[in-house]
Amino acid sequence: MKLPELKIGELTAKIPVIQGGMGIGISLNRLAGTVAAEGGIGILSTAQIGFQEDKFQRASVRTNLQTIKKQLDKARSFAKGGILGFNVMVASFRYDDVVRATVEAGADVIISGAGLPMNLPDLVGDAKTKIAPIVSSVKAAKLILRNWAKKYNRTADFVVIEGPKAGGHLGFKADQIDEAILGMDDEVVKIIAHVKEYEEKFNMKIPVIFAGGVWDRSDIDHYMGLGCSGVQMATRFIGTQECDAPDDFKDRFLKATEDDIHLTTSPVGLPGRAIDNKFTETITNGVAAYKAQEAPKTPIIPIAKCLNCLQHKLCDRKTIPYCISEALLNSVEHNTDMGLIFSGTNGYRINEITTVKAIFDEIAV
């Protein structure tokens, strides 16, 4: 059975698949542009998006803001008119400015999580850019949608549900993960039911997209059977020629087994799922000693330089266990032993480097 199109307002994706935003440097113009060209929705991550630019180390914030349009324009050059947008973390340093920059660049969509995007409607204003919060529970969905309706008389153009099998930072505490996995389907149904209330209130269709552990057509059929309008896939696209990550990063996935993927400690206070390596071993071994330190704590891995990736109220370079930007940059700058390599639960299933087209051909029939 052919997959239905995904309609978000006047935007139409031929395939109901959003490519998840992966930072730093995993989903940039090449991957996002190719996904859009194949009929999905391509998403660039704004996390340190300018890291490859000459001025990044001297002026990371300004360089990142300037690079947003440059990356989007490159993606559009081969997207064949497809839908493109950005993933912007609420926890990002100068979040408001980053969102405004993506709107000014001409983003079709913005997906925002890693916090509650309470002022996202205000930042987008009357622009045509469609907006979606990332939620992991009906509680979060209620909080965001109620706030947007009351304060801005606006609702989400679509909603992304991120489940506990996703890669990167998770919207659950570490001790909640197993229970969340078992109860996620019920939570999806509750979120969809709640979103329908706002569909009726605003007389519009609000597609709900599921993310986290989506790998193949059977997964897509499962979540669409629950009432979702589409899915978001991220980790699987790492195993493509078009993924913007370097070959040695992709090689870590080719060599990984199911037992190599675990939760790890993150400076932002949320668990993250990643592939085991020397870095995660160092962090794991150092956590007990770190927690036992009397205040003020000192990092497990010394921090060379603050690159202003997170809001300063969330990150104190003198006390966090390590710098997440340094760890993520290591992984894409040929130091994968000491890099943080985020992965969804299915990362070990990448056993060859394929193409975006091949993945879409497989799931679309």
Q: What predicted TM-score, i.e. pTM, was given to this entire model? A: 0.95
Q: What is the pLDDT of residue 364?
A: 87
The values of phi and psi at residue 72, to 5°, are -65, -40
- Helix runs in the chain, H state only: 29-37, 60-76, 95-105, 120-124, 138-152, 177-202, 217-225, 235-238, 247-255, 278-292, 324-332, 356-364
Q: By three-state DSSP, how is residue 32 classified?
A: helix
Distance CA 10, CA 357 (A): 25
Q: What is the pLDDT of residue 295?
A: 65
CB 168 within 8 A of CB 273: yes
Q: What is the pLDDT of residue 138?
A: 97
User: Residue 237 burial by CB count (10 A; 0-12/13-18/19+): exposed, middle or buried?
Assistant: buried
Per domain, the residue ranges of the chain are 6-245+349-364, 248-346
Q: What is the pLDDT of residue 296?
A: 67
Q: Average pLDDT per run of 10 along the chain, which is 365 residues long?
A: 94 98 97 98 97 94 96 97 96 92 98 94 97 97 98 98 92 87 96 98 98 97 98 98 98 98 85 94 85 75 81 74 93 96 97 98 90
Report residue 42 CA to chain centroid gap: 12
Name every residue whose Cβ is closer than 8 Å to that of residue 5 and which is 6 or more positions away in sequence: 12, 13, 14, 15, 16
CB 341 within 8 A of CB 331: yes
Q: What is the pLDDT of residue 170?
A: 86
Fold of 6-245+349-364: TIM Barrel (3.20.20)
Q: What is the pLDDT of residue 160?
A: 98
Q: By three-state DSSP, how is residue 282 classified?
A: helix
